[in-house]
Amino acid sequence: MTDAPHARYLLSDEHVPFHRVVSRPIRIALGTVALSMVVAAIFIAKATGTRVIVAIGVLEPAQLELVRTPVRGRVEALLVADGDSVHRGQIVALLESSAQRNAVERLRRTVRQRVLEHQMSRRAAEFDQIRSWEQAVQARVELAQARSMLLTTLVDFGDPRPIDSVLVDPNALPVRIESARGAVVAAASRLRSALNDSGRFALQRDEEVRQSLELASLQAEVQEQEDQLRRLTLRAATSGVVMGSRLDGLLGAMVDEGDILLSVASRSKWEVRTYVREQDVPAIRIGQSVTLEIPWESTVQARPLRGQVIAVATAPMVRSDQRAGLELENPADPRYLVRIALRTPPRSGSGETLAPGSSMRAHIVGRRRSLARVILDQLGGR
d(CA 373, CA 382): 10
Q: Is the pLDDT of residue 12 over 90?
A: no
Kindly report the pTM of this predicted structure: 0.47
119-169 confidence digits (pLDDT tens): 787 787 777 777 777 888 888 888 898 888 888 888 888 888 888 888 887
Q: Is the pLDDT of residue 110 over 80?
A: yes
User: Domain locations in the chain?
Assistant: 47-62+269-379, 64-96+233-264, 99-231
DSSP string over 172-231 = ---HHHHHHHHHHHHHHHHHHHHHHHHHHHHHHHHHHHHHHHHHHHHHHHHHHHHHHHHH
CATH of domain 64-96+233-264: 2.40.50.100
Q: In the CATH hierarchy, which fold is given to the domain comprising 47-62+269-379?
A: Elongation Factor Tu (Ef-tu); domain 3 (2.40.30)
Same fold, 47-62+269-379 and 64-96+233-264: no
Starting at the edge strand that comes first in sequence, how are the strands of the sheet with 260-266 ordered?
64-68, 260-266, 240-243, 85-86
pLDDT of residue 340: 92
Percent of the chain exceeding pLDDT 70 equals: 73
pLDDT of residue 311: 92
Choose the weakest-confidence range: 127-136, 169-178, 313-322.
313-322
